[in-house]
């Protein structure tokens, strides 16, 4: 029954996401059919087999053709897959150093004439390159590109392109908005690997190469999966992902030596603790020889860590790194470290300062197989916040940037909020770490500080809903994340159009309307939620819907510091928390000054009167009124544009998004009314357009 359910799901367009492989019925069918007579396979690995299977699947779906597979007589085939070591490049008029200037995951796609026969070569530097080249070729066919004269050379710009699952052993997902876990059921790891395999296909098709499969919050023995009870099934999941070029990682409880090992301490400098970790790591590698390593959240939000023993985070990470090093494993140590019991009214304990204050003093003390994972902002994935000044401040330590694909504070996949424009803005931010032009994207790809390890990680947004992401349009965030991590130089427009073509086809009205909705959705969401970078005005706990004073730790006062005179967090050097001083001088001066601070971040850095005039010419209070009214009206326009597509796209997808838009409109109205009413009553200043404020 379960297998039949998966089979039935695979027939649904919403399940297939961007791997639609729709039947080609027009004149293009003849143009592509000739390329799928026979597939030549020069390299025999599990990853190459995945590439071959994907081509067969796509050909049968798009062209109703099952190509022959030939591993011996390559000159009789139309598409050849192999690494540059297994394909005799000279026979095709190609240089043996064709891939010399690309990294190990790079590839070349080349149309050649061989003995008057046209062939397409999918040449990888390694078998991973073969797989990525295969997905690239299939993207070209799905977008109806010509294959007659291909010469494509490509390789990922980032070494690590990682997804973090926040899935729990009971099947729930922390900050999950698309059903339950595909990895866990009934307090155990699933035996059904078909959907796991389809997820691996989706991730591999957008260039992902690493995944952690359990929540960073690991609480007790029953949720800690580095045990004999769970490792045999973790091994099975690792085998699925390995076939698609994806390495598996596990999140751990830092107190595991106590919880699992019956030790009295988890002190990283204790010899018994060090030996326990070495034994545990050796055990894991017996099950998973290519295990990637550990993801660790420590000393934050009541999680255990080295602070409990008077040690710093380098001490804490290095004990794990020492254990993993003989196996080439790594430690990914999250920099989300702060004391959630601190008094926000005390200027010395500004949460935004925490990561920088904890980690810059120990830059250079981490072993070379430790990676610090740094959130894009210093707070917590808000719709708008300053860029973390820790990005660029660590010259001697490997680092990732951490993004959040799951929409915890951006609508929870009930509201459409396309995050690629936000991520592009983050990656293009100039830190000035090595002078002008030192952008985030160049720091996290390792080129600025010549890091041993570098890359991008993000919290996943998938669950076991039929369409993976709850809101079908939220698939664009996962797709966009993958494509952007592969190449941060791709434009938002390029990524958006590509996803729409692959998911919906190329009907002009469909492309135009969905493009408009996606490209404007982040700004619209920002308009009707928290203004000018102040963030947080959400219901505590679940974080959906407005609650102006509802931040979890509001016992210390409201996060936004609004009173009858003004609003905002003073983070200036002169009168505030001094947070602005953590940036390099050019940005510090910009953010510290009212005259130069960008409007969209004003309240993140400054406390100002409601009558303060923005660069836009509006007062702060009028901006709050205007944007919240505008956000609702913009959403109504989205709804109209979506309704215009009735009959032009899959009915299941249409109804799913239509239903979500109805939920979003009610949410937007609630935000508009609560925020405007709150600040009208707080400030006593009327809307100058005389609109109704309750």
Radius of gyration of the chain (CA): 26
- Angle (CA) 614 618 622, round 5°: 120
Residue 212's DSSP bridge partners are 164, 249
Q: Is 57 helix (H, G, I), strand (E, B) or coil?
A: helix
Q: Which DSSP state fits 223?
A: G
Token pair of 691 as six digits:
């609109």
Q: Which residues touch 454 (CB under 8 Å, ≥6 apart)?
A: 158, 159, 160, 371, 398, 399, 400, 444, 445, 446
Token pair of 547 as six digits:
């609650």
- Active-site position among 368, 380, 425, 552: 380
State phi, psi for 556 to the nearest 5 degrees.
Answer: -90, 10
Identify whether 380 is a catalytic site residue: yes
- Residues in the chain, how many? 694
Is there a contact between 479 and 18 (Cβ–Cβ < 8 Å)?
A: yes
In 219-270, alpha helices (H): 231-242, 256-259
What is the maximum alpha-carbon separation in the chain? Answer: 83
Identify whether 301 is a catalytic site residue: yes
Looking only at the bridges linking them, the beta strands covering 79-83 and 117-124 are parallel
User: Rounded distance, CA 442 to CA 375, Å?
Assistant: 16
- Active-site position among 194, 301, 357, 430: 301
List C-alpha distances in Å: 87 to 40, 55, 77, 100, 245: 10, 19, 13, 15, 21
Question: Please, how many CA atoms are within 13 Å of residue 228, restricted to the half-sphere of its CB?
Answer: 2
User: Rounded distance, CA 257 to CA 259, Å?
Assistant: 6
Identify whether 552 is a catalytic site residue: no
Within 10 angstroms of residue 422's Cβ, the number of other Cβ atoms is 21
Round to the nearest angstrom and report the end-to-end CA distance of the chain: 53
User: Rounded distance, CA 524 to CA 529, Å?
Assistant: 9
Within 10 angstroms of residue 434's Cβ, the number of other Cβ atoms is 14
Is there a contact between 311 and 267 (Cβ–Cβ < 8 Å)?
A: yes
Sign of CA dihedral 449, 454, 459, 460: positive
Token pair of 371 as six digits:
């990676």
Of the candidates 259, 266, 345, the residue with the CA atom closest to the CA atom of residue 309: 266
Residue 114's DSSP bridge partners are 117
Token pair of 601 as six digits:
């971040």
- Active-site position among 315, 385, 402, 408: 408
- Name the residues annotated as catalytic: 301, 380, 408
């Amino acid at each position: 029954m379960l297998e039949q359910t998966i089979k039935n799901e695979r027939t649904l367009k919403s399940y297939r996401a961007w791997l639609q492989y729709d039947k080609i019925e027009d004149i293009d069918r003849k143009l592509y059919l000739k390329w799928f007579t026979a597939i030549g396979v020069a390299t025999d690995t599990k990853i190459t087999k995945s590439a071959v299977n994907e081509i067969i699947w796509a050909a049968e779906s798009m062209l109703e053709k099952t190509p022959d597979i030939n591993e011996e007589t390559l000159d009789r085939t139309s598409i050849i897959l192999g690494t540059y070591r297994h394909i005799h490049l000279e026979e095709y008029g190609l240089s043996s150093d064709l891939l010399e200037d690309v990294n190990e995951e790079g590839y070349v796609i080349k149309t050649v004439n061989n003995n008057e026969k046209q062939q397409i070569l999918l040449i990888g530097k390694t078998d991973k390159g073969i797989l990525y080249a295969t997905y690239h070729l299939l993207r070209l066919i799905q977008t109806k590109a010509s294959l007659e004269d291909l010469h494509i050379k490509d390789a990922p710009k980032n070494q690590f392109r990682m997804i973090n699952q926040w899935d729990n052993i009971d099947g729930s997902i922390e900050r999950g908005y698309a059903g339950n876990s595909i990895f866990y059921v009934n307090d155990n790891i699933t035996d059904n690997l078909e959907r796991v395999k389809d997820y691996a296909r989706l991730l591999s098709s957008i260039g992902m190469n690493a995944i952690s499969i359990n929540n960073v919050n690991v609480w007790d023995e029953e949720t800690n999966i580095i045990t004999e009870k769970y490792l045999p099934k973790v091994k099975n999941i690792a085998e699925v992902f390995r076939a698609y070029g994806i390495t598996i990682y596990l999140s751990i409880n830092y107190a595991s030596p106590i919880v699992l090992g019956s030790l009295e301490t988890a002190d990283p400098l204790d010899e018994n603790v060090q030996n326990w970790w070495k034994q545990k790591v050796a055990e894991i590698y017996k099950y998973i020889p290519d295990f990637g390593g550990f993801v660790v959240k420590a000393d934050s939000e009541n999680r255990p860590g080295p602070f409990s023993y008077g040690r710093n985070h380098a001490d804490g990470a290095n004990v794990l790194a020492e254990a993993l090093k003989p196996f080439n494993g790594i430690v990914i140590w999250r920099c989300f470290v702060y004391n959630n019991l601190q008094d926000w009214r005390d200027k010395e304990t500004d949460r935004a300062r925490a990561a920088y204050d904890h980690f810059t003093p120990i830059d250079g003390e981490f072993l070379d197989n430790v990676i610090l994972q740094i959130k894009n902002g210093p707070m917590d994935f808000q719709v708008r916040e300053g860029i973390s000044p820790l990005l660029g401040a660590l010259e001697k330590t490997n680092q990732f940037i951490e993004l959040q694909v799951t929409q915890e504070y951006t609508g929870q996949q009930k509201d459409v909020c396309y995050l690629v424009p936000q991520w592009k803005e983050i990656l293009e931010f100039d830190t000035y770490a090595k002078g002008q032009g030192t952008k985030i994207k160049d720091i996290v790809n390792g080129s600025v500080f010549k890091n041993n390890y570098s890359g991008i990680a993000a919290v996943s947004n998938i669950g076991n809903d039929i369409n993976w992401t709850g809101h079908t349009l939220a698939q664009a965030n996962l797709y966009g994340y993958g494509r952007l991590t592969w190449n941060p130089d791709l434009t938002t427009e390029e990524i958006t159009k590509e996803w729409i073509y692959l998911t919906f086809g190329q009907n002009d009205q469909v492309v135009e309307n969905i493009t408009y909705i996606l490209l404007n959705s982040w700004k619209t969401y920002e308009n009707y939620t928290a203004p000018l970078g102040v963030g947080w005005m959400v219901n505590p706990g679940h974080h959906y819907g407005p609650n102006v004073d509802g931040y979890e730790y509001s016992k210390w006062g409201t996060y936004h510091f609004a009173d009858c005179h003004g609003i905002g967090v003073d983070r200036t050097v002169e009168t505030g928390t001094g947070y602005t001083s953590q940036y390099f001088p050019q940005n510090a001066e910009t953010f510290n000054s009212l005259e130069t601070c960008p409007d969209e971040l004003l309240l993140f850095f400054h406390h100002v009167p409601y009558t303060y005039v923005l660069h836009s010419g509006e007062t702060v209070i009028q901006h709050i009124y205007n944007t919240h009214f505008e956000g609702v009206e913009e959403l109504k326009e989205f709804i109209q544009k979506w309704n215009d597509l009735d009959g032009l796209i899959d009915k299941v997808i249409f109804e799913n998004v239509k239903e979500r838009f109805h939920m979003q409109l009610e949410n937007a109205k609630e935000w508009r009314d609560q925020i405007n009413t709150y600040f009208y009553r707080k400030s006593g200043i009327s809307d100058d357009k005389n609109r109704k404020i309750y």
